[in-house]
Amino acid sequence: MGFVVARCQASIRLLFTQERVAASAGQFLDGLLGNEPRKTGWMRAEAAGDPGPWRQQALLGRGQWDADALRDIVREYALERLGDEDAVLVIDETGFLKRGKASCGVARQYTGSAGKITNCQIGVFGCYVSRHGHAFIDRALYLPKEWTDDPAREWIKSHSYLAADTRPANAQLPGSRYNQPGPTQSKAKQAHRASLPARRVIRLANTSNAVCWYLT
């Protein structure tokens, strides 16, 4: 396990221009893989020997590094060990409940986390599943139309988000009276372009509904 973690830390070292930031990233990874039952900022800091969580908070909130490049490293690492032609790409959405309006992508929209339309962000996550194991390999923040159609927020279109126009026409799910955000098809196309060895894509909707199609 130690060798694997050391290899992962070495592979992400090139993402950081400063040695101290790279060291913080390595300690952050150690904390995530540690034995602490809860991975709070204070607990991760204590495990890293820091007096408080500020160094790791700076890494996540203010540090300048390429999150998409890190995603690519993780994906390559996962496929190297889990790749299989009969694998499945599982895509699901989750909501992050919010009180204010400042967070990127926040709006009143449906989220299964609350089971209703409420003020939240929507995150879309892709998990690669094969007979060898499973791993998260992609993520994106869903942007509703009130964000993509706002001229004052034009800058967001140059970032790695899923815009509202990726919603499929039949986003209304059986048995649900709410339109669910549906960027799944766009994310599946991205996965296919990345030449993932996989046979099917499954979009989880809720406990009783799921959508499945084959990659060709």
Specify the pLDDT at position 162: 62
CA atoms of 209 and 216, how far apart (whole Å): 23
CA atoms of 125 and 113, how far apart (whole Å): 14
Q: What are 123's strand-pairing partners?
A: 94, 141
CA atoms of 35 and 53, how far apart (whole Å): 18
| Cβ neighbour number for residue 153 with a 10 Å cutoff | 14
CA atoms of 87 and 56, how far apart (whole Å): 35
CA atoms of 136 and 126, how far apart (whole Å): 6
pLDDT tens, N- to C-terminus, the chain (216 residues): 677 778 888 889 889 988 888 888 888 888 888 787 788 888 888 877 888 888 888 888 888 889 889 999 989 989 999 999 999 888 888 899 999 988 889 999 998 889 999 999 999 899 999 999 999 999 888 888 888 888 777 666 556 566 655 443 333 333 332 334 444 455 555 554 556 777 777 776 554 455 555 554
Q: Following CA atoms 58, 63, 67, 69 in sequence, which dihedral angle do they give, to the nearest 10 degrees?
A: -130
Q: Following CA atoms 167, 120, 188, 136 in sequence, which dihedral angle do they give, to the nearest 10 degrees?
A: 180
Specify the pLDDT at position 128: 93
Specify the pLDDT at position 208: 44
Phi, then psi, of 92 in degrees rounded to 5: -145, 155
Exposed / middle / buried, residue 30 (Cβ in 10 Å: 0-12, 13-18, 19+): middle
CA atoms of 112 and 122, how far apart (whole Å): 10
Specify the pLDDT at position 119: 96
Structure tokens at 209: 């509904």
Exposed / middle / buried, residue 61 (Cβ in 10 Å: 0-12, 13-18, 19+): exposed
